[in-house]
Amino acid sequence: MRLEDLQPNAGAHRERKRIGRGHGSGTGKTSGRGQKGQGSRAGGGPRPGFEGGQTPLSMRTPKLRGPYSRRSRNIGLFEKTYSIVNVGQLNSFAEGTEVTQDLLVDLNLCGKGKDGLRVLGNGELTVKLTITAQHFTGSAKTKIEAAGGQALLLGDVN
């Protein structure tokens, strides 16, 4: 096999359609555009986004107003994302363990929230633990302290 013998597979390459080259070509005279009307003119056709008189998609969609962090169903520019864990999930730890976000992520008990850990009060805590997090709900804090543990607040949270 030589370089000059190479050619594409049969049917892989198709000649381009030569438009406006006489009526014998099949696309002569009107060049496949038909006789009259919007599509036959140079630059013809509706503007981008035009839907034939139907209200276009850009006008049908609701408009989002206000700062990014207030937009519903959008993670805003200033919105904080936290890892969330419930008090009831922490019963699997040994007595006196110091629980942090890194430990919970390693054990797949919560995700990697970039702004820290939030402890919620769902469930019952029966083990004495020291929990370090960015935020505790009121019920979570009381349940941790009732079990003899400590709820240590880390950093400044809204």
- List, in order, residues 6 or more apart from 138 with CB less than 8 Å away: 121
CA distances (Å), origin 73, targets 52, 69, 157 = 31, 10, 22
Query: Is the model more confident about 86 or about 67?
Result: 86
Evaluate if residue 117 carries a pLDDT over 60.
Answer: yes
Q: Please tell me the predicted confidence (pLDDT) of residue 113.
A: 81
Pairing of strands 98-99, 135-136: unpaired
Q: Please tell me the predicted confidence (pLDDT) of residue 67.
A: 60
- Asked if residue 127 lies in contact with residue 94, where contact means CB atoms within 8 angstroms, the answer is yes
Q: Please tell me the predicted confidence (pLDDT) of residue 5.
A: 93
Question: Picking from 125-129, 132-136, 151-155, which range would have the lowest pLDDT averaged per residue?
Answer: 151-155
pTM beyond 0.95, yes or no: no
- 120 beta partners: 86
Measured in whole angstroms, the distance separating CA 46 from the mean position of its chain's CA atoms is: 33
Average pLDDT of span 48-68: 83
